[in-house]
Structure 1
């Protein structure tokens, strides 16, 4: 279908062809894959992952009055480019197709394809230098720099390397440079081939249209147009450059009659005026006949028709009641293990003063406190629009390595004092590895105190874990419980063969309490276990005394 659509864009120059194109795109719109249900009610803003500093972009301005561009980056139009705009034919077809589909599915957004083209130019030069092909793909992948926080934003991997090939950090991908987490929510199937590919300019152009029109935006309003571009890249230079190229394309786009458009705002097509009916010629008065003509009968004047009653004035529209409450949905306490996603997402319902749910209300979620937990996309703040039930559901929360408790505050944008909060806790994951730190043999003579301190480290997938509780047990060489041999002591000095260690510190370390060798020489096992199943067995040797005059107990060295 996308080949037919691209061909139609290249050759359409009259009304009949335009009608054929509209019919083709109406069919395509019904087959296009829409964004995720979570994304439909989101209002991306300058805090979104897509808006962060994710790499360099083209800053040259368009030519002025046909003169060359303002910087050395201006290039000759690539082969197969439109002669008026300089945009590659495949890219131009994709931008216009996205425009037509959005006009069908979201006409109130008033999206113009020239806006998507402006972004496409600034982000990648329409993918031309990467070998843009007729099917919308490129010969070389388009990848932004690694977002490891050094030169640009810090955005940890959100797609397992599916789109950008990097399982550790995200990279912007494709001709319109989508962050993988943004693509997961807004990715679209612009060419109706059953795939969502950020590297295909047909899919990327439609996804950009969906993203820019999110949250019932009306791009005909300058402030909302400005906010939409800022949500794509939070840079004033970026906004000004995109707008300059958008207006350039609007001025250099041929109309069906071949005339170039001006930079004046677009207006709806005017309806042709119906021709006024022609007035028949006045019939001449006949001359008076020779013979006498009888007078016409008297004309009875009709009684005047009474004037119709005045219509009742239309009642004033009922204004909705103000929003007075933001009600928390689900549990107040949210819990997740480190390096895992929270199973429950923060969710609220906005209600008006009469108790009815309030749809279309913007709710902002903010992570506060000392934590490295982030919403999907790597941000601490997101804005969500309530659905018809008045409900706003935040994106998934991803816990990193830091354990502890923090707060999530939710409030309406219009009235921040209308708020509610969630408490969230990140717990240490179960230890899957225990290590004896010193790796020295554990041995002592009978009656001695084992030299120390003896330390063990708990870890999860190689990362030290804090707050892990370990249990130490002394067993026989065959792993059986003991009634004699080495032992710990309780506060009253009574022997114990099993004790619980203090929780591990920030380095994952726990220290063994005092251990006495006892009076029975032999080989024993010191077994350490942790919550989650990790276990470590360390040999413990008790030797017979070599000097009978030696005290039974020695001070710890």
Structure 2
């Protein structure tokens, strides 16, 4: 597999220490609120959440990230061996070989599948740096899978989001709450629909950098975002982790990598030092657990300092030494709107049907309600196209998350019918709460046409045992528009009343040259046109019928004439001849 991705592994790199004066100069040059650590790395302060109106959920669940900022010197190595090992910060500036390859492959894949997104691999590198320190400095095997899992802190509401377990611990080894997983730190519920197979091994593994990088690219490119647009870029980054500080940190690394970077051997990348704020479970992604090469490691919380003993209360007073104070009732957190949702109700169109390739005219909608049937606003509802189908929401995604309006209604984006026909299920669930899912059923029918016309006007004639001079071409339309990719059937029938295949007269030929009088598996092109194969005739003469039918009911019947050559030519004027004379008796 290593050869497949063209990895170039080099010997480990050693680093030196910056002079104290240089570090001081770097620190002095920072903007307010930015500091440097002992290795000359910059860091930002702890994040304060900023809810984006455009990001309704996050890939990482707003889990911990790393606030270290790029070094101030050039991103390209200038001294040493050329691999970044001979200059201070070389491993900080460089990207491990396998990790860099994964980012570039993801960019190439998205360039083909979603060219309008304009995803730069440097954005994936910036997010990978902030989320996990480039897979803990490139500690991955030859297949791109991290050596040990990279797990974020437990999302139990203590400093981070409160996300109960959604994967039974399959990805994050935690059956009580979710944790962000892998080098791009996906939470399991997001990976379930966003996961991709980036290294073509048949699996979608959040711990594999090729899979995770491709999944991150698709996640950033959803909603038809064009990442060359600053507003779209901001929305995409905030959808990964909804924090202004996170956005600013990613942007600093993005610009750093755009200025230039280089490849370093796997396992030699530097590790981030400064995690963002949150609870005390420092796990994976560049903390002490990441440095010792294992999976996630939970650092123990510092022991609390013993409090000073209070003075005994005096009976009957509320002052120290006075006693008798009435204890305050414990504070309770009011339920969120999501907590009050009891069930889902259909609030949109029913029995939607669309032809393959078309956009459904109606939209699916769901209403969130309490047990008493009261609508609940400001709830995240997820619509998921399930099963083996190529039907998607507009933009090519199979998942869309919508926040309910003041009437408790969430309307899904428009659905685009795929080429696979039949019934498609769109499942609605509540994000962050376990309630019975609501399934919507829609139907995709085959592409069809309601009209057929021949493009030529020449009479279709032939002599016995000959071939017709012109190949028949037809055009299919639907409601006046071109009907492309429509299935067509052509049959040489016995009569208008008996549409079974004829056993004499004109015929087509199969691949072996044998006569056939019924053709299937025909299809119109992008312009709705279809040119039939050449027609031949046997020795039968007369008028014959060719019936052309399309999916959707369009029908065209054409006359074919087979006549002897003498019958098909105009009679000519007789030539003059001399009548023979009768000899006279005298001559005889």
Q: TM-score range by the shorter chain?
A: 0.3 to 0.5
TM superposition score normalised by structure 2: 0.39
TM superposition score normalised by structure 1: 0.41
